[in-house]
Each structure stands twice: as C-alpha cells, then as structure tokens.
Structure 1
Amino acid sequence: MNENEKKIVTALLISTFLAAIEVTIISTAMPTIVDKLGGFELMSWVFAIYLLTISVTTPIWGKLADLTGRKKIFIIGVAIFLLGSTLSGLSQNMGQLIFFRAIQGIGAGAINPVTFTIIADVFSLKQRARVQALISSMWGIAAVTGPLAGGFLTDFVSWRLIFLINIPFGLLSIWMIGKNLNESIKKRKSKIDYGGVATFTIGITALLLALLSLDTESGIGLSQTTLFIFIGTAMLFLVLFIQIQRRHQEPMIPLELFKIKDVSFSVSASFLTSMILIGLSAFLPLWIQNVLEMGATATGIILIPLSLGWPIGSMLSGRVFIPRLGIKQTALTGASCILIGALLLTTINPETPLAILALFIFIIGLGFGFATTSYTVIIQSTVPPEMRGSGGSLITLFRTLGQALGVAVLGTSMNFVINAVDTDVASPESVAQGLYVVFIISAIISVLSLIMTLLIPTRSLDEYKY
C-alpha cells in the first residue's frame, strides 16, 4: 500500500467511525439532552430518525455514486453529515434536534456505500480484504468508545460537543479524499429513476416505522389501525418500486444483482446476522439489569467482549484467513462462531458466572468480525464496477432492515412471554423466561445464516471477476 492509498484508507476510517459512533455516542448523553431541551416523549425519535434517513438514502447515494463518481458523492455526503452535526449541536429544542438528526442521517447514508465502492475501486482483491477488515473494525471500536465518549463529554464539557466534535475530523476526511482519490470511472448521462426514489422512500419509511413500533421499548407506539395502514402502504409502494425497477433503464437498485448468487446469499446472510446483532445489543442488557439486578456499569462491561471480538475477527480475516483459506471459508468460520455462541447463550441461567457469559459474547463478536468482512469482500469482488455503488448500498440496506426486523420479532416474542407469566410488573423470573426465548430464536436465525453462507458459491481468490 503506497502513501496515497494509506491516506485514502485513513479518510475512509475517519468517516466510517464518525457515522458509526453517532449511533452510540448519543445514548449516554440523552438524559442530559432531555433535561436541557425537554421533550421526553420525543426522545425515541432522536434515534429512530437517524436510522430511517440512513436506510432511505443509502440506495440513492449508491446509485448516484455509480452515475456521477465516488469522490463527488463522498464529499457531498460527508458535508451534509457535518451540516447536520453542526445544527444538532446548536439545537434549542427537541423538535430541532430530531430534524437536524434527520439531516445528519441523510449524509451518513452516503458514507457506507461509497466507502464500500472506493475500496473496491482502489484496491486489488488481496488488499481489499485487509482494508475492509480495518473498516469493519471501526464499528466494533465505535460501539465501545461511543457511550464512554458521550458520557465523558456530557459530564465534563457539554452534550453539544458530541455533535460538534465531528466537524474537524469530517473536514479532514473530505480534504484527504479530495486530494488523494483519483477516479478512473466513466461518468454516464442517464435518466434518473425518480419514480423508484419516491416509491422506495415511502415504502421503506412505512415499513421501518411499522417494525419499530412493534418494539414497545422504542416509544414509537402506533394504534392497531395505524399499524395496518403503515404495513399496507409499505407493501403497496414496495411492489410498485419493484415494478419500476424492472422497467427503468437505470434502476435505483438493479434487480439483476439478486441473480448473482454470491450477492443474494451474502446479503441474506448479512440480513440474518444483523437480526442476531440487535438481539445482543438491545436485549442482553436486560439480562444484566433485570435478571441479575446489576447496574448499568456492569451492562457496559459485559458488552465489551462483543466489541473486542469484532475487530479481532475482522483483522484476522483480512490478514490471515481470507488469504490462506479463501473468502467463503472465512465467512463459514464466522457464521459457525455466531452459531456456537448463540447456542451457548441458550444454556445460561442466573447462576452463570459473568466471565463465562463474556466468553460466549466474545465468540459471537469474533464471528461477526469474520462474517461481515467476508460478506462485504464477496460482494465487492463479484459486482461489476459500474454497479458497485448499488451493491454497497444493498448490503447496507439489508443490514439495517435486519436490525429493525430483529428488534420487532425478538422484542415482541420476549414481551409475549413476560406478559403471559406476569400480568402486572415484570419479575426477574419472567424477564429471564422472555430472554430465553430471545436466545432460542437467535440460535435458530444463526442456523439460517449458516445455511445462507453454505450456499455462497465456492471460489478461489483468482476466480473472482473483480
């Protein structure tokens, strides 16, 4: 890797870390933000709107990167992200914060797919595995440092700094990409798929709102009638979206990507593993606080093995496993670790030592590092260069949908069990039973993820086209 490539990687690492940490850094700051700005009843929307706007805009940015070039879209995306960060840091009430977080999410939606595309454009397959491992590890690092940084800045400086601190690092990332990334992609004049953009935006927004509302902890409650309206709207507009994609000469999401087995099975496996990931991060804290009746500090500590295992698995996959075993074999190693860890979680009880629980979580984190890096490299190496933006946005979109569906399915299942056991206040015993069901469902999902990974075509590194 020459000096120019190192600077490109550094810029991508910075931007990825900024987008990733914005998911977690705000969690520990929210009580203070609510105290200063008010609007407690709107608190959940600060998180949800960021997820929604990322999900809706990711495929749009990916397609624009294919049509107009990676550098331009990266710079525009990061600039919008920084605008949203600046305005969020200057918010005077909760309504403003939610609106500005939406702007921040629109910009963040460009970062993942364009980073995916730049890596595939600049680096060879063997280099790509190492670079993608570094990028993947940023998510694990952000998961650990985000809550800690948010708490520190809020307690000792100001909650506004959790947004404003993005500005110098984001500007540095823009400058480094602007100076060092030399594109060879041919820009094409094409008809923009406005119909696809409109139907996708409406359909995915309705779907995500419906899924998020099923999680009673999200605070996005919908009446039964409204929920059915949202689901019906989502189905109608997503069917229309598919029809438009089949007929448009430059569809926002080219459906032929799903005909590539490497892509379809990698995306499916990523979707399923994302369901498991949200199950750990959202519901495992309940085991620590509600079942074991320990504090928030213990909860944070017990999740650290997940965030440590992830970057370790990513680095090992890029530097050792993929070069020596191949990409599919590395993905299978990751899927197997996730399955083993998920099965082990079904065996825990309130007497299980925390060290043993931490080991189980570490195994799953290791699996995520192997699997997510491999799935991404497979898609990067099988999607034609002119469709890489769409390919990157596809896997990002399905990971987000997996998390949203995971929250809905696992949360609804847990609450059903708890309500069946305790009609009034949830006891530690009923919460334990509910979480046991969550762990069983997660184990079943991990089996399906392993099957999807097995169905990925087996190829040597030299057999990948791109």
Structure 2
Amino acid sequence: MTRPTNLNWIVIGLLLALFIGALDVTIVSTAMPNITEELRGGHLFSWVFTIYTLTTCVATPIFGKLTDLFGRKLVFGIGVFLFIASSVLCGLANSMTALIWFRALQGIGAGALNPVCFTIVGDLFTGEKRGKMMGVFASVWSIAGLLGPLVGGYFVDQVDWRWIFFINVPIGLVSLVLVLAFLKESFDKQKKRIDYLGAATFTVAVSALMYALLSGGNEYAWDSPVIVLLLAVSAAFFLLFLWVEKRAREPMIPLKLFRSRVMYISNLSNFLAFTISSGVTIYAPIWIQSVLGHSATSSGLMVMPMTIAWPLASNVVGRLMYKIGVKASVVTGAFIVAAGAAWLTALQIGSPYAYWVCILSLIGFGMGFIATPTTVIVQSSVGWELRGVATSTISLVRSFGQTVGVAVFGTIYNHYAVGENPPPSAMASGMHGIFVLMIAIALAHVFSVLFLPSNRRADAEQPS
C-alpha cells in the first residue's frame, strides 16, 4: 500500500514524469526535417515514430503488472531511468539507424510513465479528490501538445535538434528524486512469480499487430503476403496468450478483470472514443490547409480548441461525476462526441473555418468527460494488487484505438485521394468517407456506454 509523506512533492514529481513522456510525442515531429538532413536517413524517418509507438504499447501492460508485483516506486524508478538514459542516447545518435534503436528503448521507458503515474495517483487519492487529480494529470497532455511544437522549434532554430532529447534529462532527474525521496510504500514481500511466457506471447502478438497496422497501406498493401502473415501471427499468438493466461499462477493480465462489466465496457468505450479523436487530430489540419487553402500555421493550430477543451472538461467532470454519477458523465461525453462527429458529416468544401473550431471544441470536451471518469471507475473497481494492470490495460486500449483509427481512416482516405497532389474535391470526398465512419463509431460508442452499471459510484473503493 502506498503511503505518502509529502503529497505535494510527489504530485510535482509525477507531473514532471508524465510531462516529459507527453512532450516527447509532439516535440520530435518538429525537428524531423533537421534530423533527417543531418543523419541522412530520410527514407527511415517514419520508423522514428513507429518503433516508439510499438515498444510503448508492448511495455505498457508489462510495467503495469510489475507495479502490482514489486511496487510502484521501483517500477517508476526503472521507467524514468530508462527514459532518461535513452534520451541521452537519442541525442548522441550519429545515424538514423542508431536513433531508431534508441527510440525503441525510449518507448520502453515511456511505457512505464503513463500507467505507473496514474496508478500512483489512484493509490494516493480516493473519492472526489481522485477525480480532481485525474483531471489535473490529464491536462499535462494538452500542455505538452501546445508546448511541444514551440519548444521543438526553439531548439531547432536557436540551439541544436539534439536538445529536444537532452531536455528530458534535468526534468526527469528532478522527477526521479522527488518521487523516490518522498513516496513511501509497504506491501507484501512474498516471492513473486513473473509470467514470462505470457509476456513473451503478448509481445509477439502486439508487435505483429502494431507493425501491420502502422505499415499497412503505406509500406505494404493491405492484402500483401507480409501484412496477411503479420495479422495471422498476431491472431495465433493472441490465442496462445489467452491460453497461457488462463493457466498462469500469476498472469500478466488476469482475465478475471474482464468479467467485470465496468472493466470491459470502460475499455470498449476508450477504444472507440480514442479511435475518433485520432482521426480528427490528423484530418482536421489536412482539411483546413488543403481544402480551405489556409496556411500550414493555421492548420497546425487547428487542434488547439480540442487540446484546450479536453483538460477543461476533465477538470469539470472530476468534480461533477460525484454528483451526477460516473455513468451519466460518460454517457454525456459520448453524446457530445457523437454531436461533433455528426457535424463533421455535414461539412462542405465551403464550410467556414469557425465550424472546425466548434467541432473540435465539442469533441475535445466530450473526450474529457469520457477519459477521466472511466479511468477513475476502473481504478475504483479493483484492489491495490490489480490497480497497476487495470490502469495499464486502459492505456493500452487507448493506444490500440488510436492506431486502428489511423490505419482504417488512412485506407479510406487513400482510396479517394489518389496520387501525389490530389485535387481538393478528392481529398474532401476521402475525408467525408472518414467522417461517415466516425459517426457510426460514435453511435456504437453511445450504445456501449449505456451498459455501464448505473449503481456504481466512482468513489466505491475495494480493500487496498
């Protein structure tokens, strides 16, 4: 059980750790032109992002389980240390191949930051205070999303692109010192059994699936032998993983978690909702720049309404869900997202810029009403010994939703927008196809969250 000695310092340390992980997602893209120019590996640039996403997804549930086995403090320290060390290596990379390998290591460290930070928050706070703190921590992603391009641009223009990685070192060290110094925990010191076979089969299954989703339609056609083989390998190893988990004495992801309606409906909700958010984030700037003819700066700033509305809603619902209930909060968010998706389908080529501001504000606000309450209710539905894996599972599902969204929406878009410079009408047609699918997903999401238990309070705690 985690026992704090100084909450403020612990919270600051956790916020800093979450910040460097979130910042790294946005800051690297700003520097990529300079990186590829210096390291001369332009044909490999997509792997800088792909490998990071892949290793993060694989590592997330593994670290989540390790927090339940060996405590939050140890796993947090390992994750932050890996992230800092790999950031230094990324900054020192002298080839694109080296950078890709170091980014893979950095992704492993990042796999610990998000779930372990949120798990510790779940340990430190209960009831309404937990909801409020989840809203505060959710804001970190939006702040990082706004600062990432600015910080990245400053380092590239005024210093050196390598500092987009070196900046993680002082922030990460402060985070590490604060959490390790002030977080005190005690738990059962019995001999732990690590589910090596479960971790191995899960790693193969997720790696094959993620690579297929990230490269399908780009490097390889969806019906190519490579993609078909990857999907077959993924399916086979997922089945093997389920078989292993049913028989493991200490399973990496206990399947009993998903007997709970709270758990599987919350995960389904996050998968569907984050699928929509990923599509909007990608295709809103494309519409603004390529269809409406606005500047790259205007299109880049297009996601700001969403990044502002999301944490605002997270903080609001963190307080409100204890008055109206978790189910009402999530259902409200689902309807708001659906309203934004419905508005997307009504867009025409001549629709004004202001429509996009309203749509993204709606979807961002709805996402805040979904993400925070589902995290809180999932943590509240399990005891201390399962909180880490439960939190990491919902993080993994969100990443899956985003990746599947990118793959499916990209396939639809490429069907209409053929060639290097497709006309605006073709691009608009492709995005309309995406928007129609989004409203279908949004309606399925509304339907799914109606099955959340209505009598479960967000502050219902299991014995720790």
Q: TM-score, normalised by structure 1?
A: 0.95
Map 1:427-466 onto structure 2 (within 5 A): 427-458=423-454, 459-461=456-458, 463-465=460-462
CA distance in 1, matches of 2:262, 2:217: 32
Residue 324 of structure 1 aligns with which residue? 323
Q: 1:111 deviation in Å?
A: 1.1
Q: 1:462 deviation in Å?
A: 5.3
Matched, 1:192 2:194: yes
Quick check: 220-229 or 202-211, which moved more? 220-229
Could you report, residue by residue, the CA deviation over 1:148-188 in whole angstroms, capped at 9, with x for unpaired residues? 22112111111111110011111111111111111133244
Residue 174 of structure 2 aligns with which residue? 172
Residue 401 of structure 1 aligns with which residue? 400
Residue 356 of structure 1 aligns with which residue? 355
Q: 1:412 deviation in Å?
A: 0.7
Quick check: 66-75 or 454-463, which moved more? 454-463
CA distance in 2, matches of 1:462, 1:201: 34
Residue 153 of structure 1 aligns with which residue? 155
Amino acid at match of 2:273: T
Given the superposition, is the C-alpha separation of residues 243 and 273 from structure 1 closer, same or farther in structure 2, using an over 3 Å criterion? same
CA contact (8 A) 2:380 2:458 kept: no
Residue 422 of structure 2 aligns with which residue? 426
Quick check: 239-248 or 8-17, which moved more? 8-17
Q: 1:191 deviation in Å?
A: 2.0
Quick check: 289-298 or 428-437, which moved more? 289-298
Residue 282 of structure 1 aligns with which residue? 282
Map 1:227-242 onto structure 2 (within 5 A): 227-242=227-242
CA distance in 2, matches of 1:462, 1:209: 39
Quick check: 246-255 or 280-289, which moved more? 280-289
Q: 1:446 deviation in Å?
A: 1.2
Residue 411 of structure 1 aligns with which residue? 410
Amino acid at match of 1:460: R
The alignment partner of 1:460 has SS state of coil
CA distance in 1, matches of 2:141, 2:401: 16
Q: 1:139 deviation in Å?
A: 1.3
Residue 377 of structure 1 aligns with which residue? 376
Could you report, residue by residue, the CA deviation over 1:65-119 in whole angstroms, capped at 9, with x for unpaired residues? 1001000000110000001111101111101111111111101101112112111
Map 1:100-179 onto structure 2 (within 5 A): 100-179=102-181
Given the superposition, is the C-alpha separation of residues 462 and 272 from structure 1 closer, same or farther in structure 2, using an over 3 Å criterion? closer
CA distance in 2, matches of 1:77, 1:302: 33
CA contact (8 A) 2:5 2:182 kept: no
CA distance in 2, matches of 1:46, 1:283: 21
Map 1:9-408 onto structure 2 (within 5 A): 9-216=11-218, 224-319=224-319, 321-408=320-407
CA distance in 2, matches of 1:143, 1:48: 19
Q: 1:214 deviation in Å?
A: 2.3
Q: 1:303 deviation in Å?
A: 1.1
CA distance in 2, matches of 1:449, 1:155: 43
Given the superposition, is the C-alpha separation of residues 125 and 185 from structure 1 closer, same or farther in structure 2, using an over 3 Å criterion? farther
CA contact (8 A) 1:67 1:188 kept: no
Quick check: 137-146 or 34-43, which moved more? 137-146
CA distance in 2, matches of 1:41, 1:72: 39
CA distance in 1, matches of 2:80, 2:253: 22
Question: What is the aligned length?
Answer: 460
Quick check: 187-196 or 358-367, which moved more? 187-196
Given the superposition, is the C-alpha separation of residues 141 and 221 from structure 1 closer, same or farther in structure 2, using an over 3 Å criterion? farther
CA contact (8 A) 1:66 1:386 kept: yes
CA distance in 1, matches of 2:56, 2:458: 32
CA distance in 2, matches of 1:460, 1:198: 37
CA contact (8 A) 1:9 1:131 kept: no
CA contact (8 A) 2:333 2:365 kept: yes
Q: 1:425 deviation in Å?
A: 4.5
Q: 1:385 deviation in Å?
A: 1.1
CA distance in 2, matches of 1:154, 1:345: 35
Quick check: 244-253 or 327-336, which moved more? 327-336
Q: TM-score, normalised by structure 2?
A: 0.96
CA distance in 2, matches of 1:461, 1:33: 46
Given the superposition, is the C-alpha separation of residues 462 and 193 from structure 1 closer, same or farther in structure 2, using an over 3 Å criterion? closer
- Unpaired stretches in structure 1, ≥5 consecutive residues: none
The alignment partner of 1:182 has SS state of strand
CA contact (8 A) 1:24 1:147 kept: yes
CA contact (8 A) 1:348 1:357 kept: no
Q: 1:464 deviation in Å?
A: 4.8
Given the superposition, is the C-alpha separation of residues 300 and 244 from structure 1 closer, same or farther in structure 2, using an over 3 Å criterion? same
Q: 1:215 deviation in Å?
A: 4.4
The alignment partner of 2:161 has SS state of coil
CA distance in 2, matches of 1:21, 1:223: 36
The alignment partner of 2:6 has SS state of helix
CA distance in 2, matches of 1:393, 1:333: 25
Q: 1:243 deviation in Å?
A: 0.4
The alignment partner of 1:128 has SS state of helix
CA distance in 2, matches of 1:338, 1:187: 45
Amino acid at match of 1:292: L
Q: 1:407 deviation in Å?
A: 0.9
CA contact (8 A) 1:337 1:363 kept: yes
